[in-house]
Amino acid sequence: MLRLGIISDETGHRNPRELFEYGVSRDIRCFELRYLYGKRVPNLSDDEMIELKSLIRDRGVSISAISPGLFKCSLYDTAMEEHTGTLLSRSLDFAEEFEVYKLIIFGVQRSHSDRPEDKERVLHILGEAAHAASKRGISICMENEPGWWADTPQNVYDILKNLESAGLWLNWDPGNLFVTGVSDYKPGYEMLKRFIRHVHAKDAVFLSNTAEKYKHVPLGQGSVRWDKQLADLVKDGYCGDISIETHCEPLQANSDINIEYIRKTIRLV
C-alpha cells in the first residue's frame, strides 16, 4: 500500500513541533526531511537534533527519507569536493542516527563547462555515493530534474542502468518531468518504473507571454495527469512513499488540497 507523507518545508512550518502537529491532525505521520529550523538537514545543532529525535518519538511519526541537497551543484563547482566528502558523510551519519533508510540526491547540475566525456565523471560520483550508502544499509534515490544530467527519461535510465549494481535508485518526480518539457509521463514511467523507490508529488502548468515559463499549482489543477499516474502506481504494486511537495502558496492550504486529492484519487482506483 502507498504511504502518503509530506516534505518538511512544504507546509509553511519551520519548527518540527508545528510540522508534526499539522501532519498528525491530518493523519499524516510520515515526513521527508529537507529543511527544519530554517536549515537544510543534516546541518542541525546538537540541541536541535535532540529535540527532533524526542518529537519523532513522542508524536509517533516516522521519517521516510532525508534530502540534504547532495550534488545540487555542477561538476566544476568548488562545492563538489564538499558534496562528495563531508556532506555525503554527514548525511549518511544523520540517516543512521535517525534510522532513515533513503537518501534523496540530485544527478549533478549541468553547466556550460560540461563536455560529453564528463558523463563518466558523473557516473563515478553518483556510483561512489550509492556504494557508500549501500554499505550502510541506505538506499540512494536520484531525483529527475530539468537542468541536471538526470533530466529526460532516457538520460535518467542510462545513469540508473549503469549504476544498478552500485545500488542507485530513483526518486520519481512527474512534476519535474513535465517542466523538463515532457508532457506525457507514461513512456518515461514505463521505462523507469522498476527503479522507483520514492515519489514526489507536485503539479504545474506552462505559462505563455510571461517571464516565467511555468508555475506550480495544487495537484489535479495542472497539466500532470496525477489521476492516471496514481492509478499506474497502484496497478503496478508500488508500495513505497509518496511525498507531497506542494511548491505553491499558500503552502498549508494547498497542502491540504494535495492530501485530499491523493486520498480521493486512490480511493477511486
The per-residue pLDDT for 120 is 97
The per-residue pLDDT for 20 is 98
pTM beyond 0.95, yes or no: yes
The per-residue pLDDT for 210 is 77
The per-residue pLDDT for 116 is 86
How far is residue 220's CA from residue 261's CA, in Å, rounded to a whole number? 7
DSSP per-residue codes, 219-244? TTSSSS-HHHHHHHHHHTT--SEEEE
DSSP H stretches of helix in 115-197: 119-134, 153-162, 174-180, 185-192
Query: What is the domain partition of the chain in residue ranges?
Result: 3-268
On whether the CB atoms of residues 69 and 97 are closer than 8 A, the answer is no
Interval 108-119: pLDDT, tens: 999 999 998 999
The per-residue pLDDT for 1 is 79
Interval 147-206: pLDDT, tens: 999 999 999 999 999 999 999 999 999 999 999 999 999 999 999 999 999 999 999 999
Mean pLDDT within 31-54: 97
Interval 47-90: pLDDT, tens: 999 999 999 999 999 999 999 999 999 999 999 999 999 999 99
Interval 210-267: pLDDT, tens: 778 899 999 999 999 999 999 999 999 999 999 999 999 999 999 999 999 999 999 9
The per-residue pLDDT for 211 is 77
On whether the CB atoms of residues 194 and 211 are closer than 8 A, the answer is no
CATH number for domain 3-268, candidates 3.40.50.300, 3.40.50.410, 3.30.1490.100, 3.20.20.150: 3.20.20.150
